[in-house]
A and B are shown apart, each in its own frame.
Chain A
Amino acid sequence: MTAGVIIMVALGAVFVFLAVQGAQGFHTDRSVYEPAAHNFWTYAAKLLFGTTLAAVLAMIIAVPFAIGLALFISHYAPRRLAVPVAYVIDLLAAVPSVVYGLWGARSLASAAQPVQRWLGDHLGWFPLFSGQVSATGRTILVAAVVLAIMILPITTAICREVFQQTPRLLEEAALGLGATRWEMIRMAVFPHARSGMVAGVMLGLGRALGETMAVAMVLSASPLVTLKVLTSDNPATIASNIAANYNSEDNRIQTVLIATGLVLFVFTFLVNFAARLIVARSERKLA
């Protein structure tokens, strides 16, 4: 009982202390926010844009792979392969984020540079790929790829679980009517698992929004709004902005960072809460 209350108190305390400490951050001198913005809300909005952009890019890359992997483990893999593959995917989650950041910045970025140059040369008419391609390869696209690898395990795990819960009878019935395996999955598994898949995707999104090190180490970024994902001018995310500036001597900057942390907290809280609600609703529907 008491311990349970401690948890509630702790969660409340997170909010309260961030609010108390960040309160001044909402309206300090203009000079603190410059050159990115003139007041807190445009500053936070720009950072929130970067956060969302990186997370959404990561989701676009990760979700097809996550669903494919989940299907592989639940329906396609030979029995002997399913368990080891699931274990290896969990292993992806065990690698510390700072190692992903190091790998992303030192290996992936330079290896992906030719690919990005090719994208810039041939698909430059597409707004996302326009602009001067970065020579180091350390772009928000690479950061998004690293993020995608990091959120793959959680999304895969949740999708896999709901796929495996599809009633055996429905699957057998579909196969018995002559459906191919893919038709069976489309007609029996996906409708059954839809809300679970949405929840898995949103939990992955929540994780991508809050991830710090991968973005902070791959990018040298500043708060700005741009959709060009291949250039050297990259939008910072809230978390990476905190990691880049936390050491500042200026006390006002620290309060501003804490205030942006509060914004991130509320934002991820909402995303996770929505995901949990969807899961709860689907569980009730199944029961």
Chain B
Amino acid sequence: MTTADVTMQTHSLPLHRLRLPQYAVPMVMGTAVVVAALLGLLLGWGWVPMAIVAILLTDVALPLWSRLVEGRRAAVDRLVTALIWTALVCALAPLAWLLIKTLASGIPAINGHFLTHNMVQQLDPVTFKTMPGSGVVHALLGTLLVTLGATIISVPVGLMTSVYLVEYGRGRPIARVITLLVDVMTGIPSIVAGLFALALFSVFFGVGTRMGVMGSIALSLLMIPTVVRSAEEMMRLVPGDLREASYALGVPKWRTILKVVLPTSIGGIITGVMLAISRVIGETAPLLVAVGSIDVTNTNLFSGRMQTLPVFIMTEYQTSTPAGYRLAWGGALLLIAIVMVLNLAARIIGKIFAPKTGH
């Protein structure tokens, strides 16, 4: 065998399989975009079909090319990768659409009048004509009060439950039952919580009762499990060393919990509570059923209907008039802003109070 033969054999057995070049992905995507844009211009599409066609072209062309060069297995891998990126785009598109739509329709509705009036007809002081109230202040106050009520009910109950679960109930069957029930409670349909408040108060105060506090009770039913879960997790993070150091000094258990466990985990607990609030503040169905809707400002939780922001959006939507839609979008923007601010604040507080690591 000559040297030339050996060289030839090494050439016929390559060490690397053929791969697509590094620039394959951007190139295919770019081509797909250009082709889709040309097709779209020729056939007069909007930009949404163009984007869809560009994505589909990429999803088909890249695996095909890979199939020709790299073989079947690599082609399947490329196809799945492309599909997963597509899933990402498809999931983010509605969120972007919703936020942009809410901003675009909501900003024109929000002005000083909107934020300082309720929906009662008023006499214009200049022209002496009656004009619709078209404001949101009653709903804003109602939402804040009802949510405050829910927080006052659920924070003590939730905190004490999680203290019991972490500090006292370890391994006991009753603790396991409670954990399971808390999990199940997270899954209660929100409208059932509203119906519960309705049924409860119908028994004691007669049919047709509507009060703000009914909404608070319904919301607290939805809020308690979230509070319990997050507080429980935070308290479990408190190192056992701290507790034992306290016991070794002769401090009784309840003082240890109050002075050591709770202060250590307070940041996480506050974050959890705020996230729970931001979750229930946008709940509509239970408030619709239990608190009802009204045009005037009512700040008494214990008497009569109250307006809340989510229900305000719903009722304005149901008027099916341009003015109603405008108010509904304004309310929606306000509600999203409140939820986002709560979310952000919760995360920032969580960062600030995060337990210092390192000894």
Chain A residues positioned under 8 Å from B284 (CB to CB): 96-98, 101, 212-213
Q: Is the CB of A261 within 8 A of B282?
A: no
Chain A contact patch, size range: 35 or more
Residues A191-217 near B (CB distance < 8 A): 203, 206-207, 209-213, 216-217
Q: Is the CB of A210 within 8 A of B181?
A: no
Q: Is the CB of B91 within 8 A of A152?
A: yes
Name B161's closest neighbour in chain A (CB-CB).
A3
Say yes or no: is A100 at the interface (Cβ < 8 Å to chain B). yes
Q: Is the CB of A254 within 8 A of B207?
A: yes
Q: Is the CB of B160 within 8 A of A210?
A: no
Say yes or no: is B97 at the interface (Cβ < 8 Å to chain A). yes
Say yes or no: is B168 at the interface (Cβ < 8 Å to chain A). yes
Say yes or no: is A257 at the interface (Cβ < 8 Å to chain B). yes
Q: Is the CB of A268 within 8 A of B187?
A: yes
Q: Is the CB of A239 within 8 A of B285?
A: yes
Say yes or no: is B185 at the interface (Cβ < 8 Å to chain A). yes
Chain B residues positioned under 8 Å from A203 (CB to CB): 187
How far, in whole Å, are A246 and B208 apart by their CA atoms in the complex?
11
Partner of B189, one of A21, A92, A100, A211: A211
Partner of A7, one of B161, B168, B278: B161
Q: Is the CB of A68 within 8 A of B199?
A: no
User: In the complex, what's the smallest C-beta–C-beta distance from B208 to chain A, in angstroms?
Assistant: 8
User: In the complex, what's the smallest C-beta–C-beta distance from A107 to chain B, in angstroms?
Assistant: 5
Say yes or no: is A276 at the interface (Cβ < 8 Å to chain B). yes
Q: Mark B165-204, 1 if CB is under 8 A from A, else 0.
A: 1001100001101101111111111111101101110110
Chain B residues positioned under 8 Å from A273 (CB to CB): 184
How far, in whole Å, are A233 and B239 apart by their CA atoms in the complex?
59
Say yes or no: is B14 at the interface (Cβ < 8 Å to chain A). no
Say yes or no: is A169 at the interface (Cβ < 8 Å to chain B). no
Q: Mark B324-354, 1 if CB is under 8 A from A, else 0.
A: 0100110010011001100100000000000
Say yes or no: is B251 at the interface (Cβ < 8 Å to chain A). no
Say yes or no: is A31 at the interface (Cβ < 8 Å to chain B). no
User: In the complex, what's the smallest C-beta–C-beta distance from B63 to chain A, in angstroms?
Assistant: 11
Q: Is the CB of A180 within 8 A of B77?
A: yes
Chain A residues positioned under 8 Å from B278 (CB to CB): 94
User: In the complex, what's the smallest C-beta–C-beta distance from B56 to chain A, in angstroms?
Assistant: 15
How far, in whole Å, are A211 and B83 apart by their CA atoms in the complex?
29
Residues A1-26 near B (CB distance < 8 A): 1-4, 6-8, 10-11, 13-14, 17-18, 20-22
How far, in whole Å, are A101 and B98 apart by their CA atoms in the complex?
11
Say yes or no: is A35 at the interface (Cβ < 8 Å to chain B). no
Chain A residues positioned under 8 Å from B178 (CB to CB): 4, 7-8
Chain B residues positioned under 8 Å from A170 (CB to CB): none
Name B180's closest neighbour in chain A (CB-CB).
A276
Name B88's closest neighbour in chain A (CB-CB).
A72
User: What are 11 A-to-B residue pairs whose CB atoms are below 8 Å?
Assistant: A4-B178, A11-B185, A96-B335, A100-B98, A107-B101, A183-B77, A217-B317, A243-B191, A269-B184, A272-B184, A276-B180
> Contact residues of B with A, CB < 8 Å?
73-74, 76-77, 80-81, 83-88, 90-92, 94-95, 97-98, 101-102, 156-161, 163-165, 168-169, 174-175, 177-178, 180-193, 195-196, 198-200, 202-203, 207, 221, 224, 228, 278-279, 281-285, 288-289, 292, 310, 313-314, 317, 325, 328-329, 332, 335-336, 339-340, 343
**Beyond A103-B102, A268-B187, A268-B188, 8 additional pairs, beta carbon < 8 A:** A72-B88, A91-B343, A107-B98, A181-B80, A181-B81, A185-B80, A242-B195, A258-B199
